[in-house]
A and B are shown apart, each in its own frame.
Chain A
Amino acid sequence: MQKHIYAIELKDIDKRFGPVNANNKVCLQVEKGSIHGIIGENGAGKSTLMSILYGFYLADSGEIKVFGKQYKFKDSHQAIKSGIGMVHQHFMLVDNFTVLENVILGSEGGALLHDGLTAARKELTRLGEEYGLKVDLDATIDSLSVGSQQRVEILKALYKGAKILILDEPTGVLTPQEAQDLFRIFIALKKEGVTIILITHKLHEILNVTDNVSVMRGGEMVAHRETSNTNREELAQLMVGRKVLFKVDKLKKDIGEVLLKVSNLSIRDKNNTYRLRDVSFDVHAGEIVGIAGVSGNGQSALLESLSGIIPVSEGYIEVLGHRMDSDNLIYPDKLREYGLSHVPEDRQRMGLISEFTASETSIIGYHNDKTINSRVILNNTKVKSNCGSLMADFDVRPNNPKLQSESFSGGNQQKLILAREFNRDPKILLIGQPTRGVDIGAIEFIHKRIIAMRDSGKAVLLVSVELEEIMSISDRIVVLCDGQVSGRIDSKDANERTLGLMMANAFNTSDNIEPLTT
Chain B
Amino acid sequence: MNRNSRINWINRLLLPLLNVLTAFIATAFVFVFIDVDPIEATEILLYGAFGYQEGIGYTLYYATNFIFTGLAVAVAFHAGLFNIGGEGQAYIGGLGTSLVILMIDPNTSPLIFISGSILGSLIFGGLWALIPAYLQAYRGSHIVITTIMFNFLASSLMVYLLVNVLRQTGQMTPESQLFPQNSWLPFIHNIAENIGFTIEESPLNISIFVALFFSILVWIFIWHTRWGYAIRATGLNSTAALYAGIKPKRIIILSMCISGALAGLVGINELAGYQHRLIMDFHFGYGFGGIAVALMGRNHPIGIIIAAILFGILYQGGAELAFEMDNISRDIIVVMQALIILFCGALQYMYRPWLIRILAPIEKAS
> A interface vs B, CB < 8 Å?
307-309, 331-336, 342, 344, 349-356, 360, 363-365, 367-368, 373, 376-378, 380, 403-404, 407
Q: Is the CB of B224 within 8 A of A350?
A: no
Contact with A along B190-234 (1 / 0, CB 8 A): 000000000000000000000000000000100111101110110
Residue B4 contacts which of A307, A333, A367, A407 (CB distance < 8 angstroms)?
A407
Closest Cβ neighbor of A332 among chain B residues: B245
Docked-complex contact A331 and B247, CB < 8 angstroms: yes
Q: Which of B44-52, B81-89, B95-103, B236-244 contacts A (4 or more CB under 8 A)?
A: B236-244
User: Given A349-B237, A356-B236, A368–B243 Cβ distance below 8 Å?
Assistant: no
Contact status A367-B229, CB under 8 Å: yes
With both chains docked as a complex, state the minimum distance between the C-beta of B136 and any C-beta of chain A, in angstroms: 19
Which of B226, B230, B240 has the most chain A CB atoms closer than 10 A to its own CB?
B240
Q: Smallest CB–CB gap between A322 and chain B, Å?
A: 14
Q: Flag if A332 contacts B242 (CB, 8 Å).
A: yes
Using A352-B240, A364-B233 as known contacts, say yes or no to A373 and B245 having CB atoms under 8 A apart. no
Question: A365: which of B224, B228, B232, B243 is its contact (CB, 8 Å)?
Answer: B243
Contact B236 A332 (CB under 8 A): no
Contacts of A332 in B (CB 8 A): 242-245
B225 touches A336 (CB 8 A): no
The minimal Cβ–Cβ distance linking A28 to chain B, given in whole angstroms, is 28
Asked, given contacts A360-B229, A380-B224, whether A307 binds B243 with beta carbons under 8 Å apart, the answer is: yes
Bound complex: CA A403 to CA B7 (Å): 13
Partner of B245, one of A333, A354, A363: A333
Chief secondary structure at chain B's binding surface: helix
Which residues of A lie under 8 Å from residue B242 when comparing CB positions?
309, 332
B220 in contact with A377 (CB, 8 Å): yes
A336–B243 contact, CB under 8 A? no
Q: Are B236 and A309 in contact (CB under 8 A)?
A: no
For the complex, what is the distance from the CA of A93 to the CA of B242, rounded to whole Å?
31
Q: Looking at A360, A364, A377, which has the most chain B CB atoms within 10 Å of its CB?
A: A364
- Chain B nearest CB from A353 CB (Å) reads 4
Contact A377 B225 (CB under 8 A): yes
Q: How far is the CA of A363 from the CA of B244 in the complex (A)?
A: 9
Total count of chain B residues near the partner, CB < 8 A: 21
In the complex, what residue of chain B is closest to A369 when comparing beta carbons?
B226
CB distance from A486 to the nearest CB of B (A): 28
Whether the pair B245, A365 counts as a contact (CB closer than 8 A) is yes
B220 & A353 in contact (Cβ 8 Å cutoff): no
CB-defined contacts of B247 to chain A, threshold 8 Å: 331
Question: Are A344 and B229 interface neighbours, CB within 8 A?
Answer: no
Q: Do B229 and A378 have beta carbons less than 8 Å apart?
A: yes
Which chain A residues lie closer than 8 Å to B237 at the CB level? 349, 353-355
- Min CB distance B242 to A, Å, is 6
Let me know if B4 and A336 touch, CB within 8 A: no
A364 to B236, CA, bound (A): 13
A309-B232 Cα distance, complex, nearest whole Å = 19
Residue on A nearest B225 in the bound complex, by CB: A378
| B236 & A353 in contact (Cβ 8 Å cutoff) | yes
Q: Tell me, in angstroms, the Cα distance from A364 to B220 when the chains sit together.
A: 19
Closest CB-CB distance, A170 to chain B, in whole Å? Answer: 27
Closest chain-B Cβ to A478's Cβ sits at a distance in Å of 23
Nearest to B243 among chain A residues (CB) is: A350
Please, which residue of chain B has its CB at the minimum distance from the CB of A403?
B4
The listed residue (A334, A350, A378) touching B226 by CB distance below 8 A is: A378
Q: Are A350 and B239 in contact (CB under 8 A)?
A: yes
Task: Please measure, in the bound complex, the distance between the C-alpha atom of A334 and the C-alpha atom of B245, giving whole angstroms.
Answer: 8
Q: Which of B129-156 contact A (CB under 8 A)?
A: none
Q: With CB as the reference atom, state the residue of chain A lying closest to B229.
A: A367
Cβ-neighbour of A353 out of B223, B224, B233 (below 8 A): B233
Chain A residue contacts of B223, Cβ below 8 A: 380
Could you list 25 A-B pairs, sorted by A, with CB under 8 Å?
Answer: A331-B247, A332-B242, A332-B243, A332-B245, A333-B245, A335-B245, A342-B243, A344-B243, A350-B243, A351-B243, A353-B237, A353-B240, A355-B236, A363-B229, A364-B233, A364-B243, A365-B243, A367-B226, A367-B233, A376-B225, A377-B225, A378-B225, A378-B228, A378-B229, A404-B4
Contacts of A333 in B (CB 8 A): 244-246
Chain B residues with Cβ under 8 A from A364's Cβ?
233, 240, 243-244
Chain A, Cβ-Cβ closest to B362: A18
Write the nearest CB–CB distance from B366 to chain A, whole angstroms.
Answer: 14
State the Cβ distance, B216 to closest chain A Cβ, in Å.
13
The residue in chain A whose Cβ has the minimal distance to the Cβ of B3 is A407
What 16 additional pairs, Cβ within 8 angstroms, besides A356-B236, A377-B225, A378-B224?
A332-B243, A333-B244, A333-B245, A335-B245, A349-B237, A350-B243, A353-B237, A365-B244, A365-B245, A367-B230, A367-B244, A373-B226, A378-B225, A403-B4, A404-B4, A407-B4
What residues of chain A lie closer than 8 Å to B239, measured between beta carbons? 349-350
Nearest 4 Cβ contacts at the A-B interface = A333-B245, A332-B245, A365-B244, A353-B237
How far is the CB of B226 from the nearest CB of chain A, in Å?
Answer: 5
Given contacts A376-B225, A377-B220, A377-B224, contact A336 B245 (CB under 8 A): yes
Query: Chain B nearest CB: distance from A337 CB in Å?
Result: 9
B240 vs chain A, min Cβ distance (A): 5
Do the beta carbons of A308 and B245 come within 8 Å of each other? yes
How far is B247's CA from A352's CA once the two chains are assembled, in angstroms?
Answer: 17
Which residue of chain B is the closest to A308 with respect to CB atoms?
A: B245
Residues of A within 8 A of B236 (CB): 353-356
User: Which chain A residue has the least Cβ–Cβ distance from B245?
Assistant: A333
CB distance from A430 to the nearest CB of B (A): 11
Closest partner residue, chain B, to A375 (CB atom): B225
By a CB distance below 8 angstroms, the chain B residues around A360 are 229
Closest to B223 in A: A380
Kindly list chain A residues whose C-beta atoms are within 8 Å of the C-beta of B224: 377-378, 380
What residue of chain A has the Cβ atom nearest to residue B221's Cβ?
A: A376
Q: Smallest distance from the beta carbon of A333 to chain B beta carbons, Å? A: 3
Q: How far is the CA of A376 from the CA of B246 in the complex (A)?
A: 18
How long is the Cα–Cα vector from A392 to B301 in the complex, in angstroms? 34
State the Cβ distance, A408 to closest chain B Cβ, in Å. Answer: 11
Measured between beta carbons, the chain A residues less than 8 angstroms from B232 are: 356
A433–chain B nearest beta-carbon distance, Å: 15
Q: How far is the CB of B11 from chain A (nearest CB, A)?
A: 11
Per-residue A-contact encoding for B92-132, CB less than 8 Å = 1, 0 else: 00000000000000000000000000000000000000000
B257 to chain A, nearest CB (A): 18
Distance of B229 from chain A, by nearest CB (Å)? 5
Q: Which residue of B lies closest to A353 (CB)?
A: B237
Enumerate chain A residues within 8 angstroms of B240, measured Cβ to Cβ.
349-353, 364
Q: How far is the CB of A84 from chain B (nearest CB, A)?
A: 31
Closest chain-B Cβ to A385's Cβ sits at a distance in Å of: 16
- CB proximity of A303 to chain B, nearest CB, Å: 10
| Chain B CB within 10 Å, residue with most, of A334, A336, A367, A377 | A367
A-chain residues with CB within 8 Å of residue B228 when the two chains form the complex = 378
From residue A299, how far is it (CB to closest CB) to chain B in Å? 16
A128 to chain B, nearest CB (A): 38
Give, as a whole number of angstroms, the nearest-CB distance from B79 to chain A: 14
| Residues in B neighbouring A354, C-beta threshold 8 A | 236-237
Select from chain B the residue with minimum beta-carbon distance to A331: B245
Distance in angstroms between the alpha carbons of A380 and B232 in the assembled complex: 15
B4 — which chain A residues lie within 8 A by C-beta?
Answer: 403-404, 407
